[in-house]
Structure 1
């Protein structure tokens, strides 16, 4: 089932009644709006004057709905997740924490190859030459000791957008602002799926920054990044003003959880595909499989 994403950019009072999310507008004559909580996958809170009741937060967490808060720059900055996301959580976390270094290196190798392949296929879909990216993908070793991921990313972003001087930098020129927003949404999707699979988003297979609470999410989301890039590419090509994140652009980026991807030869909403990826990751930790299941970007 495809879960809905709700985005709140204006003052509102959010509460719950009869298993429904109730949206009230204290400073307006608008009627209350209700939405079934079980239908929600993501709730994005952008305006600082939004009030949300503890009862609603409790029900959202129980239904594994990701609640995302934004900062003054309107970028996602916080993510509420349940303490217990799976009935076998303790055992699954034990498998994760006991994963051997060679296994982690193999999983990271698979992740980097999948990411670069998807970047190459995105290039092909845009009529760009992908031979160099394909060569990088073939050169990835266990643990990516040669750092092919960084080499591929540098080439990829230097040639993706027809914008002079563009480079991927969080605080640099547009459309970095769009990419930042899209990746933040993708990170929340990944963290939600990891928790639902009984895994710790903070313990990564490659990323291990002690100040990063989402190291594993940052690992697993890598092959999914080109899907965000594709949405941003279309926005840039549309000719609209990309210097500021307006409501129309955010609306397009908030459709990322529901966009179609191909995984295991079948089409699936991205958020559902992510759940299959995190489930396969647990199976690798547990020893039931050797290969992570990642989507393949369609090059046509």
Structure 2
């Protein structure tokens, strides 16, 4: 089972005890989580310490640690060096992939994202949904007209109100989105490493300072799933990144999606997307496994998805 472990309490110490990540406060153990169950550890609190042995054992299992700023946006990740038995060959194939293939892959990714945005708006009864969905059909290879940004200008006011502006630096709804996207980014980054791809070599994102450009590309279709959960919580009166909000957003990776006619958890969908991209690079023929757009009932289930356990 993949678990996102959130550390929000100050002065905790994290270490390994007999295959478990032990959590201690003032030298007293307050909890344990099996290392084999952990997909990522997200650290928000200040003054948290951990052992090198913990990081090593997480990396050996393909898990990672994510460090966040006060606005819940990630600022650093510790990821495994090795992720796949054919890693070297896949790195080379990824680096040598022709530009037209990269642009077609970006088209498929952005089209899926914009179509998801339109579908979500329709599912919650917003008339703008149909128009946004139509925009997805206009996206060409590489998205030269930047339909993604055009869709966003219609999407955000329709979803959260005319006064809403997407801003990573502010609190409230934006901070909840930041946290949810951090969970998705960690999930996708882990899948990329496991597929033997290099996270720095992106399809579209190419900031020289961004070590996770490919993760920022492949996470795009998953973002509206976070938006759905945050919208639902806002409707329920949640206005900040509290313990309950973190637990629900972290649990999204276990929510069910339809992938090629079968029901699969979100984390498995991320793995299939990364694996099929790697195979596309190796074989020179693009074929991405993208999950199907949810129907209205599925959107409702995703937005209300409740974790089995509680976030710490």
Give the structure 2 partner of residue 216 of structure 1: 214
Give the structure 1 partner of residue 97 of structure 2: 99
Give the structure 1 partner of residue 63 of structure 2: 65
Q: Give how far 1:34 is off.
A: 2.7
Give the structure 2 partner of residue 148 of structure 1: 147
| Residue range with higher mean Cα deviation, 125-134 or 220-229 | 125-134
CA distance in 2, matches of 1:139, 1:261: 25
Give the structure 2 partner of residue 132 of structure 1: 131
**Normalising to structure 2: TM-score of the pair?**
0.89
SS in 2 for 1:143: coil
Give the structure 1 partner of residue 294 of structure 2: 298
Q: Give how far 1:173 is off.
A: 6.5
CA distance in 2, matches of 1:142, 1:55: 45
Distance 1:183 1:32, change over 3 A: closer
Give the structure 2 partner of residue 157 of structure 1: 156
Q: Give how far 1:24 is off.
A: 2.1
- Does the aligned pair in 2 maintain the 1:258–1:269 contact within 8 Å? yes
Q: Give how far 1:102 is off.
A: 0.8
SS in 2 for 1:210: coil
CA distance in 1, matches of 2:241, 2:81: 32
CA deviations over 1:153-197 (Å, ceiling 9, x no partner): 111112112x34112222356411111121122111111110110
Q: Give how far 1:140 is off.
A: 0.8
Written as runs of structure 1 = structure 2, the 5 A alignment for 1:163-242 is 163-172=161-170, 174-240=172-238, 242=239
Runs of 5+ consecutive residues of structure 1 not aligned to the other structure: none
> Aligned pair 1:272/2:281, yes or no?
no
- Does the aligned pair in 2 maintain the 1:110–1:291 contact within 8 Å? no
CA deviations over 1:89-125 (Å, ceiling 9, x no partner): 1000100000001111111111111111111111121
- Does the aligned pair in 1 maintain the 2:119–2:293 contact within 8 Å? yes
SS in 1 for 2:5: strand
SS in 1 for 2:268: helix
- Does the aligned pair in 1 maintain the 2:120–2:224 contact within 8 Å? yes
Q: Give how far 1:233 is off.
A: 0.6
> Aligned pair 1:18/2:18, yes or no?
yes
Runs of 4+ deviating beyond 3 Å = 72-76
CA deviations over 1:44-103 (Å, ceiling 9, x no partner): 222222221111111111011121122244543221101111111100010000000111
Runs of 5+ consecutive residues of structure 2 not aligned to the other structure: 297-312
| Residue range with higher mean Cα deviation, 211-220 or 164-173 | 164-173
